[in-house]
Amino acid sequence: MAEKKPDFTVTDRRLFTPEGELRSDAGGNGEPATEAPPATEVAASPQSGSDKPGAKADAERMPPPPTAEEQREQADAYSRSTSEFDSRLRKELGGRQIEDLEITFERFLASLYMTALVQLGLAHEQGGDPRLDLIGARQTIDSIALLQQKTKGNLTDKEESFLQNVLYELRMAYLEVTNALAHGPGPQAPGEAGLPRR
């Protein structure tokens, strides 16, 4: 049986090798990387973040973004692939709707919420032990706060309320865990865990 060739090309756009060295072909297709636009063009770009220190140097190190044609081809290939996958999945799901598996903003937030709870040691896999990752938890909580800033004015009332509740609960949980670690466990009933539970 002949092997089917993909309808798209994957281009490696990473700037560095696995060893951390700057790639000579950072353009990703075996050709030398294209030169960065002059500094005046970088500074004029509204998305370059040029008002922040070091933004100019960061922008000059960035590879060029994919062209409109590359983005369209990639989006079309992704759409075809997900359609084929959904067709196979419908057969296996039986009575469940494929829509139950689609990502929504609220499901995305719920995923981040659960990730933070696991990182705070307040949730864990069945049969596993809680593991504490305060740096990871803080980064997840800060990522949700960043989402709140960047989506301001673009969410429904329900989505905004959900985001505010998630952020509030996670910040409170973070404070409880860090206070418990800083001050040691308080008086407990026999059999209670040292970390706060929700």
Cβ(23)–Cβ(31) below 8 Å = no
Range with lowest mean pLDDT among 124-133, 137-146, 154-163: 124-133
Instruction: Give SS3 for 132.
Output: strand
Contact by Cβ (8 Å): 45, 93: no
What DSSP character marks residue 98? G
Q: What value does the CA radius of gyration of the chain take, rounded to a whole number of Å?
A: 23
3 state SS of 2: coil
Would you place residue 155 in the very low, low, confident or very high pLDDT band (cuts 50, 70, 90)?
very high
Whole-structure pTM over 0.85, yes or no? no
DSSP 5-36: PPSS------SB-TTSPBPTTTTSSSSPPPPP
Q: Is pLDDT above 70 for 157?
A: yes
Q: What is the pLDDT of residues 74-131, one digit of tens each?
A: 999 998 998 888 878 877 777 667 777 788 999 999 999 999 999 999 998 888 888 9
